[in-house]
Structure 1
């Protein structure tokens, strides 16, 4: 959405400004700018987009709510126009580099509530010694080769926005199995757009590589950071990307 400067001048035709904004927003919802069921931008972003005050945006949203075209819950406002949401590719499985399920392989995932590694804390904007949800993953082939280990730390933003992740805090004892394979789907369902940045680095004096993934949302807020170590002699790293066709 383009950014303009708030002015709150009444439109020329004399109808209340909030109704003019409501009509403009409804037009954008109908043309698919925001798919049905998806979260709308925040009040501040809408105010900048339409060049009005946040109070005018609130009034416009109330008009659409009364007409049943927008619903609001604790996570924000959502378009409720009839029609199917735009289909998006399935999110990749969590954690980064997790194996495809194989009865012959040995996989283990656990979570703890602890102080993350210093590099993780810095990347997530956590204060020193502040605990968070830390996920550990281990995998190896039936013959013990091709070992993979991953450590993921989640940010305070991820835990506050994604209800499914927050539930793990009370059972993060490091003992019970924790299946977070759908973590990225949970984030998307919470209205977060995910941006991944992966870097691959050979480890000195070891036949292994480290893959570091950083994930942030549409507001540039960090969500998680993962360090995956893979036995490079025994395994290959394969990344698959799917983009929807244009139009």
Structure 2
């Protein structure tokens, strides 16, 4: 796998910010800038270790931070940039209540959301409750309801 060349000074072990957070910052920036695209595999842990001269534990902690933010998904064969999927527009009544929370493991699997992605709990005036992934739901208030 061809790695993009990082600035050797990008991670500073003597800085106040822990190296794993510095690595997470670099990878997050690459995702936000489109250098790492949805579905694209990230370099292997050993590649980051060799490129930056940091420990495997630091790489793993950086990946945990990014998973917690919902930016990457880690599978048996490595990590990849999470594909957020296409947004869905959901209409709700003006008096509906919307709350956000982290999903349980069964809810996460049912809704297909990555670790670290919250869900929306929509309670309609009639008591009906819907659970929706917060990262790909657009809420529109239906004033005619």
Interval containing the TM-score (normalised by the shorter chain): 0.3 to 0.5
Bigger radius of gyration among the two: 1
Query: By percentage of residues, which structure has more helix?
Result: 2
TM-score, scaled relative to structure 2: 0.48
